[in-house]
Amino acid sequence: MGPIDLAVLDELREQVGAEFTIELIDTFLEETPGILSDLRSAAGIADADGYRRAAHSLKANGAMFGAAAFASLARDAELSGVHTDPDVSRSLLDAIDAAYAAAATCLQGIDRG
Amino acid sequence: MVDTGARLLVVDDNKVNRLLLARNLEAQGHHVELAENGRVALAMLRASSFDLVLLDIEMPEMDGFQVLEELKTDAHLSDVPVIVTSAVEGVDNVVRCIELGAEDYLSKPVNPVLLKARIGAGLVKKQLRDQQRELVRRFATSAVADDMEHSGFALGGRHVRATVMFSDIRGFTSLVEAGTPDEIITLLNDYYVLMFDAIGGQGGVVNQMIGDGLMAVFGAPLALPDSDGAAVRAALDMIAMVHTFNIDRAAAGQATIQIGIGIATGDVIAGYTGTQQRATYTCIGDTVNRAARLEAHTKVAQRWILIDGAVRDALGDGFQITSLGEEMFKGKSEPVRVFSVDG
């Protein structure tokens, strides 16, 4: 499976229409870099609440668009919480960034009718 | 049906979620307003009324748990149904939401069919609660309705010290025989408006109306300082109101009325009696019987207002009171000290 489960996107389209799905995707693409940056900042200062909240948001948004790998990594971050060893956090954060980049490329390529 | 056209508040810090929920709800015919965290949501809920709230849990500034706690302790907002929509994991979090008063819990991503069903159910429940409250307020006194809202409804009683009043219209049977049904009902309704006004104005509660008679309680279900003085002042107001009422009736060529009032103070058993389906708030006990006997005795003694010794002893200055000695009332083993209030 690619970075986006197209069946999930189809379901969303069916639910709210193609045009609004594009609007949601655009909002996701606008909002996510900020949340990824919040996650990294929270990891840097060991802000457990901020880290969990940012990871939680990424997980929910990822699941909505069928970005399964991205959502799953965000879930790992949410459940494991901020790590005292910055290297552990960094490798997870890098993986989340990469998964997002792949999902975003795929979503940007969606037919906009 | 109430499952469309409701005013809903969506509380979520995640913009994508807010947009999606709003879209789904608007498609279902609802009016939707958005709040990005708990603090904003509470301010909006306090500023205007909403039929239902969809609440996220993980939010900055004030999270969903804190919002639920605030709503629970706010008498004006505790009835607004809340459906939690969250991707927070763990059954304990769901349980915590329900324990804090949430109506329901929907996991994200929210299934629109489930969302519609849960919102419909939440709105129906709210409408039933509103109707129930309205009915209780119509058929019970506002004091009883408040007591039920705060303490809940439970059959069973408690001992309280209260002042009980009985009042009725003298010679009502002959009035009924002389008047048309419409005239009698109009007379009774006008009379009750005046009596409720006099009794309620002094903090009393009319808890029974039987034909032309009524029973009122001062000091239950809510405690009332100086329940004796309040009851006697109410009785004097009632006599004054009947006097004015009679002037109007006489001017209109209608028969005038006279009332008698008996008041007693002491221990009563107060509570809801009846069945789970149909119950009434009432007071029973010797004090109640004594007040009823005193009211009946007003005809014999040819006085408007009679009180027992306990009321007399508790009353302050400022009343014209005449001792009428002791009376042995039917069914009583002890004589009752009887006093007349003349002004």
Global ipTM: 0.90
Q: Which residues of chain B have pLDDT under 50?
A: 1-3
Please give the structure tokens belonging to residue A14: 């069916």
Distance of CA B115 to the CA centre of its chain: 35
Answer whether B59 sits within 8 Å of A15, measured CB to CB: no
Preceding amide of B335 cis, omega within 30: no
A23–B27: do the CB atoms touch at under 8 Å? no
Contacts A78 to B, Cβ<8 Å: 89
pLDDT interval class at A84 (50, 70, 90): confident
When CB atoms are compared, the residue of B15, B88, B109 closest to A27 is B15
Which of B56, B74, B44, B63 shows the shortest CA–CA distance to B18? Answer: B56
The mean pLDDT value for A55-64 works out to 94
The predicted structure's pLDDT at residue B3: 47
Contact between B60 and A23 using a beta-carbon 8 Å cutoff: no
pLDDT at B1: 45
B211 interfacial to chain A (CB closer than 8 Å): no
Mutate to test the interface with A, among B12, B13, B14 (most CBs of A within 10 A): B14
Q: Is the pLDDT of residue A112 over 80?
A: no
Q: Which of A24, A52, A56 minimises the CB distance to B20?
A: A24
Three-state DSSP class for residue B269? strand
- Residues of chain A positioned with their CB less than 8 A from the CB of B108: 60, 63-64
Note the pLDDT tens digit of each residue in A16-49.
999 999 999 999 999 999 999 999 999 988 899 9
**Nearest-CA residue of chain B relative to A21?**
B20
Crossing angle between the packed helical segments A68-80 and A48-64, to the nearest 10 degrees: 160
SS3 B112: helix
pTM for this entry: 0.60
Q: What b/e sequence results for B68-81 when a residue is b if at least 16 CB atoms lie within 10 Å of its CB, and e otherwise?
A: bebbeeeeebeebb
At CB < 8 Å, which residues of chain A contact B? 15-16, 20, 23-24, 27-28, 31, 50, 52-53, 56-57, 59-61, 63-64, 78-79
B162: enclosing H helix or E strand = strand B156-169
> And the tokens for B196?
């409720």
